[in-house]
Amino acid sequence: MNLRPALFLDRDGTIIEDAGYLADPGGVKIIPGAAEALRKAKDMGFALIMISNQSGVARGLYGLEDYHTVTRRMEELLEEEGVRLDGLYFCPHHDKGTVPEFTLFCECRKPSPGMLILAAKEHGLDLESSYTIGDKPSDIGAGKAAGTKTIFIRGEGAEPPYGRPDTEPDYIARNLPRAVEWIFENLSEEKIKEKRSSMP
């Protein structure tokens, strides 16, 4: 079976503006240029998989239905721009939560790679040729643990996760559009090298 590469995408601060523990779908705003970047990635053959920590559920700041309502609004806005995500995964757990059923340590909460590994199995994805993109060290940690390449979104004032091998990204981008541009540039360079190596 031919496995597809994927972009594993954090939600808040990567696809939509980070508004803290967002429970109101009216507060969903797609980051400028993000939809166009995702269309370009899909045209390049990448599956688009959202992977999001949602500890607000465990902390009692919003419920599961609030999470789903916000995420559906994000999907609606992306679809208006011609983008459909291939998979949506989230972790509602936190070991220091206040809601008993969600207060636990799990293998799906980033930086653990559980969501990526599950998505790879369910969607037939090639982790080695995939990229994890997010604005937190935990995104980079999860991507590296799963065996993907990693891109840290610096955004406004976010400090790059330097100094720790488990969270050192392959690239630091100011936003998702620049991250996808970098992927495209690297793929183009790889194709050029392949052609040159096959020349007599």
For range 6-29, the mean pLDDT: 96
Is it true that domain 6-198 has CATH number 2.60.120.10? no
User: DSSP class of residue 178?
Assistant: H
pLDDT tens digits along 110-154: 999 999 999 999 999 999 999 999 999 999 999 999 999 999 998
Whether the CB-CB separation of 51 and 110 falls below 8 Å is answered with: yes
Checking DSSP bridges between strand 149-153 and strand 131-134, what pairing results, if any?
parallel
For residue 197, is pLDDT > 70? Answer: no
Neighbours of 47 (CB within 10 A): 22
pLDDT of residue 45: 93
Looking at the annotation, which residues are catalytic?
A: 10, 12
For residues 168 and 80, the model is more confident at 80
Whether the CB-CB separation of 133 and 174 falls below 8 Å is answered with: no
pLDDT tens digits along 75-101: 999 999 999 999 999 999 999 999 999
For residue 198, is pLDDT > 60? Answer: no
For residues 47 and 187, the model is more confident at 47
pLDDT tens digits along 33-66: 999 999 999 999 999 999 999 999 999 999 999 9
pLDDT of residue 1: 64
| Residue 194, amino acid | E
Sketch the domain layout of the chain as residue ranges. 6-198
pLDDT of residue 156: 64
How far is residue 35 CA from its own chain's centroid?
Answer: 14
How far is residue 109 CA from its own chain's centroid?
Answer: 13
